[in-house]
Structure 1
Amino acid sequence: MNLHELGLRLLLLILSILILFFISNRRKSETLNPLFMIIGLCTFSLLYVFTKVEIGVGIGFGLFAIFSILRFRTKAFTINAVIFLFVCMTLSILDVFFPADKYFDLLLFHGGIIIAYFLGTFRNVKYLSSFELTLDTCDFPNLDESKMRKCIAERIPFEEFKYKIISVNAVANEVKVEVFY
């Protein structure tokens, strides 16, 4: 792979990742960190180096161990973030290993993945986030639906919400509910 070809593949990867990033962040309720885009570029660079240098099985196991440690030592990512990272890494792997004489096929793969990603982000979910809320059973001794809804509405700043009772503890006089907003 010469410098011109490397530059074209890197440019295609950067454009694809930018498009995916802006598709992912068009909703204000959940946004991705811009540094997630660097993971695709790092994967591209790492794989490019691996194509130029002979590596052994030990390095592969070492990389697997590093990524495993990172996964268990960092905060959990949302599903959207994991999908974005996986797509970025897939595009970077395609860019490095795809045959040089098949640029049109590579463009089709990029376009297909971006279109599928875009279509996959359309979802008809009304409540995107949730949290747990602990309430006193004294406020609603018979767990009446309207009283429960009113009690929750007084404690949260959202007008529209849905809730689900997780547990009722009669000894501690508390009800745990999960509130979706």
Structure 2
Amino acid sequence: MEFLNVPLFDDDFFKLAFLFTVNIAFLTLIIRWLYYSVTGDKSYVFTYYLIGIVVFLLCFTLKKYKLDIGLALGLFAIFGIIRYRTDSIAIKEMTYLFVVIGVSIMNAFVNKKMSYFEVLFGNLMVVGAIAILEKVWHSKHQIYKDIVYENIDNIKPENYDLLKEDLENRTGLVINKLTIGKVDFLKDSAEIRIYHYNK
């Protein structure tokens, strides 16, 4: 049965429903069980889910039109917009974003050349690798914060230890390194980026 020359239903619906369920299940493992439980940061959970769902549906839809080259170019354009048109995010969050997009694309492009077991194996390998790195090895990643510092005398190279000690006392963080950016002598302030490991 058709409406306006478009079929109301075809067998691909069952494939879409099954793969969508698989995709959501593995996104939940990656986003909620791994990312959120380690970082405790809710700010990217919404974004990761929505990007994963939209990328999956977009790829599944375009796959039916055999737009392989155009799809690849379009995805690069999407990645470019995400990278250059939004606020920069930390490397770890960007890595999770890449994983979410990659898993969604992989799940969407299932065809006769790839079995369901291969897709499930690929998903399990991704989740397993993240679980080992995050839960077993407890790998730490270095993050940074930008602050405005008013004690201008401490930014001198010979006062590096004083500067670091002062910043650690004020922030309560163990600082690995710090870099001094823009200095405003009129306001007696400097922009400093401090690097520390996440807890």
State the TM-score bracket (shorter-chain normalisation). 0.7 to 0.9
Structure 1 residue identity aligned to 2:153: T
- Report what 2:28 is aligned to: 18
Between 108-117 and 95-104, report the one with greater CA deviation.
95-104
Q: CA deviation at 1:88?
A: 1.6
Between 39-48 and 65-74, report the one with greater CA deviation.
65-74
In structure 1, the gaps of 5 or more residues are none
Identity %: 18
- Report what 1:137 is aligned to: 153
- Report what 1:115 is aligned to: 128
Structure 1 residue identity aligned to 2:111: P
How many equivalent pairs are there? Answer: 177
Q: 1:71 aligns with which of 83, 96, 99?
A: 83
Alpha-carbon separation, structure 2, partners of 1:96 and 1:139: 53
Secondary structure, aligned partner of 1:123: coil
Alignment CA distance shift 1:118-1:49 (3 Å)? same
Alignment CA distance shift 1:151-1:140 (3 Å)? farther
Structure 2 residue identity aligned to 1:35: T
Secondary structure, aligned partner of 2:178: strand
Alpha-carbon separation, structure 2, partners of 1:54 and 1:130: 45
The question of whether the paired residues in 1 share the 8 Å contact of 2:180 and 2:192 is answered with yes
Matches within 5 A, 1:75-114: 75-99=87-111, 102-114=115-127
- Report what 1:7 is aligned to: 17
Alignment CA distance shift 1:108-1:54 (3 Å)? closer
Structure 1 residue identity aligned to 2:195: F
The reply to whether residue 42 of structure 1 matches residue 54 of structure 2 is yes
Structure 1: 4+ residue segments shifted above 6 A: 138-141, 171-176
In structure 2, the gaps of 5 or more residues are 1-10
Alignment CA distance shift 1:164-1:18 (3 Å)? same
The question of whether the paired residues in 1 share the 8 Å contact of 2:62 and 2:71 is answered with no
Q: TM-score, normalised by structure 1?
A: 0.73
The question of whether the paired residues in 2 share the 8 Å contact of 1:137 and 1:175 is answered with no
The reply to whether residue 179 of structure 1 matches residue 194 of structure 2 is yes
The question of whether the paired residues in 1 share the 8 Å contact of 2:175 and 2:195 is answered with yes
Secondary structure, aligned partner of 2:45: coil
Alpha-carbon separation, structure 1, partners of 2:154 and 2:76: 52
Between 9-18 and 70-79, report the one with greater CA deviation.
70-79
The question of whether the paired residues in 2 share the 8 Å contact of 1:133 and 1:176 is answered with yes
Q: CA deviation at 1:39?
A: 1.0
